[in-house]
């Protein structure tokens, strides 16, 4: 595992929120609230590599040479569970364009099945940064599928944002895409024989939307 490509958010508030959403006694309403709060911390960390360009402004008292973000930001939640992270990221990037990618994992084969993709038209895809949002990085199949779809659009800067990751999934993503960076709140122990992350938090989509 290339350690410089993986950043684990080591923040006391993030750890406490993550414990809240792992807890099986947390209701789905509270689950979605804490996922949104946690996603704000994740968004802050995951955007630390963005580039800036200088911007001249005037404060009420004097001219000031400041900065603005250079890249165009695209937020791409993987449906459904990725929607839980969108609120926090949108607060940090209210002008971001939002791309939706619908993928579900076949429960037998664990392979990703695509059912929807909408990506914005960009004037300059080389100046864009895409943040792929999905709370769970398990086998890595869904994330690798998403990264491929985004690369086909000519995007070079891709940041993977997850709440809980399995070593198997992180390895799989970095093996195929050594050029991308993964931000996660936890690198858990392993996958079980059904492809669920242990200790994990269960099925993120079901817990988020109360469908279990």
Find the DSSP H helices in the chain. 12-22, 28-46, 83-92, 141-152, 167-176, 204-209
- Over the window 119 to 148, marking each residue x when it contacts ligand URA by CB under 6 A and - when it does not, the resulting string is -----------------x-x----------
Query: How far apart, in whole angstroms, are the C-alpha atoms of residue 77 and residue 131?
Result: 8
Contact call for residue 106 and ligand URA (CB under 6 A):
no
Contact call for residue 200 and ligand URA (CB under 6 A):
yes
Contact call for residue 78 and ligand PRP (CB under 6 A):
yes
Instruction: Find, among 82, 186, 181, 80, the residue nearest to 129 by Cα.
Output: 181
Q: In angstroms, what is the minimal distance from the CB of 137 to ligand URA?
A: 8
CB 170, CB 1: distance < 8 Å: yes
Is residue 68 classed exposed, middle or buried when 0-12, 13-18 and 19+ CB atoms within 10 A define those classes?
A: exposed
Out of 35, 85, 155, 204, the only residue in the binding site for ligand URA (CB under 6 A) is: 204
Q: In angstroms, what is the minimal distance from the CB of 134 to ligand PRP?
A: 5
Looking only at residues 151 through 210 of this chain, which bind ligand PRP when binding is defined by CB under 6 A? 169, 195, 203-205
3-class secondary-structure state, position 77: strand
Q: In this complex, which beta carbon is closest to ligand URA, that of residue 180 or of residue 197?
A: 197
Reply yes or no on whether 95 is catalytic: no
CB 138, CB 195: distance < 8 Å: yes
Residue owning tokens 């990264």: 147
Looking only at residues 33 through 62 of this chain, which bind ligand PRP when binding is defined by CB under 6 A? none
Give the residues lining the site for ligand URA (CB under 6 A). Answer: 81, 136, 138, 195-197, 200, 203-205
- Footprint of ligand PRP (CB under 6 A): 78-81, 103-105, 110, 112, 134-143, 169, 195, 203-205
């Amino acid at each position: 595992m290339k350690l410089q490509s993986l950043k684990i958010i080591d923040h006391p508030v993030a750890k406490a929120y993550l414990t809240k959403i792992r807890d099986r006694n947390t209701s789905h309403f509270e689950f979605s609230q804490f996922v949104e709060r946690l996603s704000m911390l994740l968004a802050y960390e995951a955007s630390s590599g963005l580039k800036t360009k200088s911007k001249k402004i005037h404060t009420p008292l004097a001219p000031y040479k400041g900065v603005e973000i250079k890249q165009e930001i695209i937020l791409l939640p993987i449906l459904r569970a990725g929607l839980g992270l969108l609120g926090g990221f949108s607060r940090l990037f209210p002008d971001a364009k939002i791309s939706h990618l619908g993928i579900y994992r076949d429960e037998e084969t664990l392979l990703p099945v695509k059912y929807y993709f909408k990506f914005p038209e960009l004037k300059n895809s080389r100046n864009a940064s895409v943040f792929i949002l999905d709370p769970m990085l398990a086998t890595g199949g869904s994330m690798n599928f998403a990264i491929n779809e985004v690369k086909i659009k000519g995007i070079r800067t891709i940041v993977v944002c997850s709440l809980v990751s399995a070593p198997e999934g992180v390895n799989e993503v970095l093996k195929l895409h050594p050029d991308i960076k993964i931000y996660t709140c936890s690198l858990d122990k392993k996958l079980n024989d059904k492809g669920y992350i242990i200790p994990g938090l269960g099925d993120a989509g079901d817990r988020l939307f109360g469908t279990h």
